[in-house]
Amino acid sequence: MEEKVLKSKSWVANYFYSKVCEYQHYLEQVVGHCDSSMARFAQKLPPGDNEGRLLTYAYGSLNNMVQTLKDGGSVFLPTAITWTDIKTLRHGEFFYLSRNAATHDGNPIIDAWVDGRYYVGKDIERFDGFGKFIKIQRPVEDVRTFTLEFSRDFYGFLADRLTLLGDHQLTKPIIGPSEIEQIMGSQLIPEEVKSLFAGQIDEIKEKAGNIKSDPVAKALEQIRTGADYIRRVS
């Protein structure tokens, strides 16, 4: 049972790296749409027809990734990540509450544009799942600024938590023997290919077992890349 738990944690740790990459992808989209809008304003042009809509989509996806990284990290980190942790970050409370407003109510969150910059134009009022009235205080900063400020703190928080793992046991082969058997048994693999490798399965399994990846090191490297990006564009 202990080995199965460790294997499960290793799987989720490997997924974590790709989700850090996904967070960075949406962060760059948010910044890109904001920069495009400011460039149009500098040229005395109106906002692009779809700019605000695409920014809303990118921000919503970015916000959802916070939940994914919180939950995924909690699977393999020694201490679970909580919303209480995230709320201590700059704009962390707004990210938490606005995610609920967007996910459960469909609230677009970003609803104001002034001199090329996008804003949350007013405080958000809603009722939670228990019927309790909630008023979410809007950030005074524009969307580009508060998203970058939160992301800088979020990356720092994730890096600290990952570093605490120290000498972990999450480095496993990228693909295991059972996965190789499933692949070779798949209908997606042509029969001639299966026949070609039929006598080499044990050798393939052995070689695959030697190809290992440290998911924590990969995630930390991606976080450093993201932090460098934030410094460049801030």
Per residue in 10-32, pLDDT tens?
Answer: 889 889 999 999 999 999 999 99
- Rounding to the nearest 10 degrees, give the CA dihedral for residues 69, 75, 78, 83: 40
Residues 141 and 206 in one domain: no
Residues 39 and 85 in one domain: yes
Residues 56 and 150 in one domain: yes
The residue to which tokens 């450093």 are assigned? 224
User: How far apart, in whole angstroms, are the C-alpha atoms of residue 127 and residue 83?
Assistant: 19
User: How far apart, in whole angstroms, are the C-alpha atoms of residue 219 and residue 15?
Assistant: 9
What does the pLDDT read at residue 47? 84
Beta strand 212-213 pairing with 172-173: antiparallel
Bigger pLDDT: 7 or 21? 21
> 44-83: per-residue pLDDT in tens?
998 888 999 999 999 999 999 999 999 999 999 989 999 9
Which runs of consecutive H residues, i.e. helices, occur in the chain?
2-42, 51-76, 83-87, 92-105, 143-163, 177-184, 191-197, 201-209, 215-233
- The radius of gyration of the chain from alpha carbons, rounded to an integer in Å, stands at 22
Tokens of 179: 């996965």
What does the pLDDT read at residue 21? 97
Which residue range(s) make up the domain with 27?
2-172+214-233
Measured CA distances, 44 to 35, 40, 70, 143, 225 (Å): 14, 6, 41, 21, 34
Q: Taking Cα atoms as reference points, which of 83, 90, 55 lies closest to residue 69?
A: 83
Residues 123 and 205 in one domain: no
For the chain, percent of residues with pLDDT exceeding 90: 69
What's the mean per-residue pLDDT of the chain? 90
Backbone angles phi, psi at 22, to 5 degrees: -65, -40
The residue to which tokens 């070609």 are assigned? 196
Q: How many CB atoms lie within 10 A of CB 225?
A: 13
Task: Give the chain's domain count.
Answer: 2
Dihedral of CA 214/218/223/228: which sign?
A: positive
Residues 100 and 63 in one domain: yes
Residues 97 and 185 in one domain: no
Tokens of 45: 């042009």
Average pLDDT (98-127) is: 95
- State the maximum Cα–Cα separation within the chain, in Å, rounded to a whole number: 68
pLDDT over 80 (residue 167): no
User: How far apart, in whole angstroms, are the C-alpha atoms of residue 9 and residue 85?
Assistant: 21
Residues 57 and 96 in one domain: yes
Tokens of 214: 């440290």
Residues 144 and 200 in one domain: no
Average pLDDT (110-114) is: 96
What does the pLDDT read at residue 10? 83
Residues 118 and 161 in one domain: yes
Residues 98 and 141 in one domain: yes
User: How far apart, in whole angstroms, are the C-alpha atoms of residue 18 and residue 111?
Assistant: 30
What does the pLDDT read at residue 174? 65
pLDDT over 90 (residue 40): yes
What does the pLDDT read at residue 113? 96
Residues 150 and 201 in one domain: no
HSE value, Cβ hemisphere, 13 Å, CA-based, for 93 = 8
Residues 20 and 95 in one domain: yes
